[in-house]
Structure 1
Amino acid sequence: VNQPSVLEETGYMKAVRLTAPKHFEFVETETPTPQDGQCLIKIERVSVCGSDIRHSYGPILSEDRYPFAPGKPCHEVAGTIVESRTDGFPVGKRAIVIPSGDAGGLAEYIVSGPERIALLPDEGNLDEWLMCQPSGTVLYSCQQMPNLLGKTVLVLGQGSIGLSFTMITSRMGARTVIGADLLDNRLEKSIEMGATHTINPSRDEIGQAVLEITN
């Protein structure tokens, strides 16, 4: 299958790259060209992973690490296929993409093979579908856990990963799911995602609070 691209044939695209700690710059770079068995995806949504902040954005790395390749660091990406050279991945389908090699998500377009593309339904908000990428990591972790039926689970932190743990463990049969965070708005969302109890350690000593909840 060789479906045509809707990309304007300028040959270049805009991208962002990390050039120093917490410093990004916009650059113009060549638009990648898909080979046989690959797709070209127009990136429409990205999210920032905590590992990017911890390992790339924030710390001061050695000078030889800078600048990063255009588009990096960013690996949580969703968009629309605009050119396809492989069966089963038609132009116009939305997808989550996991970048590989020197590719990064902070760019207008990315090339990927089908092994790193997850097609999405036509309906639904792409912002929400993108969260399947980090939530998939949480799901894999939960699958390594023992049977949670009737158990108590404490989830420390209710950011995107913590909320995913809260949601999934509650659906795995945990009787009590406790979400802990310093921000009350996150604790409110924690209840929506399945927590039976919440703790704000800035107000309550967490160990004592857990003992009171679990008797």
Structure 2
Amino acid sequence: MTAKMDALQVIARGKAEFIRTALPELIEGHAIVQPRHITLCGSDVWMLSHAPDAAYPFPTGTTGHEVIAEILELSPEVEGHEAGDFVLAIAPDHRAMAERYLTPQKNLLKLPSGKTREELLMAQQLGTVLYACKQLPSVIGKTVAVVGQGTAGLWFNFVLQRLGAAKVIALDPKTNRLQLACQYGATDTINIREEDPLEQVLAINDGKLADIVVEAAGREASINLSIELARADTGFFLQFGVPYEPTSVNYGKIFTKCLKHKSIVHAGREPGHTSTLQALDLIAGDYVDVSPLLTHRFPFERVLEAYEVHQNATDNAVKIVVDMPS
């Protein structure tokens, strides 16, 4: 009889269910790992509820990709790791929401000492933000607006401030997230539910729009707001949030404002995962305290509830940890 495990699978838009599926089989150059902690991300919510219709159903194990795991078994070719090691296990296919997961050696990142596993897990998303910021023009002395203050937006505040941005303007409708924005490097905040964001950016920035705008939410309204906030002719618009489907974007405004535009995806494919390793060093070296971001925990059997809390940002949720079966 084939051995089985529990896994989640997104089977239709807005619908996921637990299934029993075969355990992964070890192949050359890979390891079988047991996820211990998974944090939820906006891209997980995108796969659950906002991907193109043709994408459904997704494969088993969807959707989870920010993973601390224990290595259970390695193929003989895998060096530098042993069974029992805990690692940051990069899962670019989002199939780690399962009791076992097969991953190549290149995606096994050693954990530094001195921090909890949950704290070090935050390096995965910080790493994607570091990777994205490497694609930006110089921010030294510039005004940067960050639309969306989930953990990705908060990490952008942190990195941009340290890269030399003169002003980092954080925009979000949630008061608790705007309070965190200041802790993580924002110089100014705008509650887009209570204030006119265009007027406020002009007031903060001496009558000028932003030099660079980072969109970190993926919603239609936030994407189009980001386009509005970017300065004409010289403005740069970075699309980081995964766009919900369907989305109507004001491309004509990008065209008439002559904006430079770049999207960021597949940071997990960066050779050597350099940015994620840098993020691990930042967290382990006490350059940033991640504990205020870790607001909620759910066991694996309540992961569907966790997705709902994450998607709606209820109960002042910021980052949600899913504890997997041990």
TM-score (norm 2): 0.57
Aligned to 2:101: 110
Aligned to 1:168: 159
Change (3 A) 1:186 1:177: same
Change (3 A) 1:148 1:17: same
The aligned runs of 1:171-210 (5 Å cut-off) are 171-210=162-201
Change (3 A) 1:21 1:200: same
Aligned to 1:49: 41
* Runs of 5+ consecutive residues of structure 1 not aligned to the other structure: 1-9
The aligned runs of 1:84-123 (5 Å cut-off) are 84-85=74-75, 86-99=78-91, 104-123=95-114
Task: Give the letter aligned to residue 41 of structure 1.
Answer: V
Deviation at residue 28 of structure 1 after TM alignment: 1.6
Deviation at residue 105 of structure 1 after TM alignment: 1.2
| Matching residue within 66, 74, 90 for 1:76 | 66
Aligned to 1:25: 17
Change (3 A) 1:43 1:160: same
Query: Which piece of structure 1 moves more, 116-125 or 146-155?
Result: 116-125
Runs of 4+ in 1 over 3 A off after TM superposition: none
Task: Give the letter aligned to residue 205 of structure 1.
Answer: D
Task: Give the letter aligned to residue 69 of structure 1.
Answer: P
1:79 is paired with a residue of what secondary structure? strand
* Runs of 5+ consecutive residues of structure 2 not aligned to the other structure: 207-326
Report the number of matched residues: 203
2:45 is paired with a residue of what secondary structure? helix
- The answer as to whether partners of 1:41 and 1:83 remain within 8 angstroms in 2 is yes
**Per-residue deviation, residues 153-210 of structure 1 (Å, max 9, x unmatched):** 1111101111111111011011211111100100011111111111112222112212
Change (3 A) 1:60 1:171: closer
2:159 is paired with a residue of what secondary structure? helix
Query: Separation in 2 of the partners of 1:24 and 1:55?
Result: 10
2:156 is paired with a residue of what secondary structure? helix
Aligned to 1:40: 32
Task: Give the letter aligned to residue 169 of structure 1.
Answer: L
Q: Percent identity?
A: 33
- The answer as to whether partners of 1:93 and 1:122 remain within 8 angstroms in 2 is no
Change (3 A) 1:94 1:123: farther
Deviation at residue 55 of structure 1 after TM alignment: 4.1
Query: Separation in 1 of the partners of 2:134 and 2:92?
Result: 25
Query: Separation in 1 of the partners of 2:30 and 2:105?
Result: 7
Is the aligned partner of 1:124 residue 2:125? no
- The answer as to whether partners of 2:10 and 2:56 remain within 8 angstroms in 1 is no
Query: Separation in 1 of the partners of 2:138 and 2:18?
Result: 48
What CA RMSD, in Å, does the superposition of the two structures yield over aligned residues? 2.2
Change (3 A) 1:154 1:104: same
Is the aligned partner of 1:152 residue 2:143? yes
**Per-residue deviation, residues 63-112 of structure 1 (Å, max 9, x unmatched):** x933x3221233222211122231101223222223366x7111011111
- The answer as to whether partners of 1:94 and 1:122 remain within 8 angstroms in 2 is no
1:173 is paired with a residue of what secondary structure? coil
1:149 is paired with a residue of what secondary structure? coil
Deviation at residue 134 of structure 1 after TM alignment: 2.2
TM-score (norm 1): 0.84
Query: Separation in 1 of the partners of 2:64 and 2:23?
Result: 17
1:118 is paired with a residue of what secondary structure? strand
